[in-house]
């Protein structure tokens, strides 16, 4: 498993799009951190590893991050925040 600090900035929040799994602030922050094709759900996210784009990774969102995603999607204001992303490898076969 890989662990990385992700920082959701004011700019990520301003540019983020509500209810858009690939364009929400968390997805934008993951893109800035170098991850490819992040997609954020209500409880987890998936993305591709920059070292091997054929490798999919997934992570469960902490309750705090999931709450921030829900607040943003529901039109409420959020402030910049950081969280650790712990990724697990998986593949389609």
Express each pLDDT in 39-84 by its tens digit: 999 999 999 888 888 888 889 999 999 999 999 999 999 999 999 9
* CA dist., res. 50 & res. 63, Å (int): 26
Full-model pTM = 0.90
Bridge partners, 55 (sequence order): none
Please name which of 67, 82, 59 lies closest in space to residue 12, comparing C-alpha atoms.
82
Residue 58 neighbours by CB under 8 Å, 6+ apart? 44, 45, 46, 87, 88, 90
* CA dist., res. 69 & res. 8, Å (int): 11
């Amino acid at each position: 498993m890989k662990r990385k600090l992700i920082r959701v900035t004011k700019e990520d929040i301003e540019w983020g799009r509500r209810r858009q799994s690939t364009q929400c602030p968390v997805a934008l922050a993951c893109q800035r951190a170098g991850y490819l094709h992040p997609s954020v759900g209500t409880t987890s996210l998936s993305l591709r590893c920059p070292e091997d784009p054929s490798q999919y990774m997934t992570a469960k969102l902490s309750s705090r991050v999931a709450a921030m995603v829900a607040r943003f999607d529901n039109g409420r204001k959020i402030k910049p925040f950081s969280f650790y992303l712990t990724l697990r490898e998986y593949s389609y076969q």
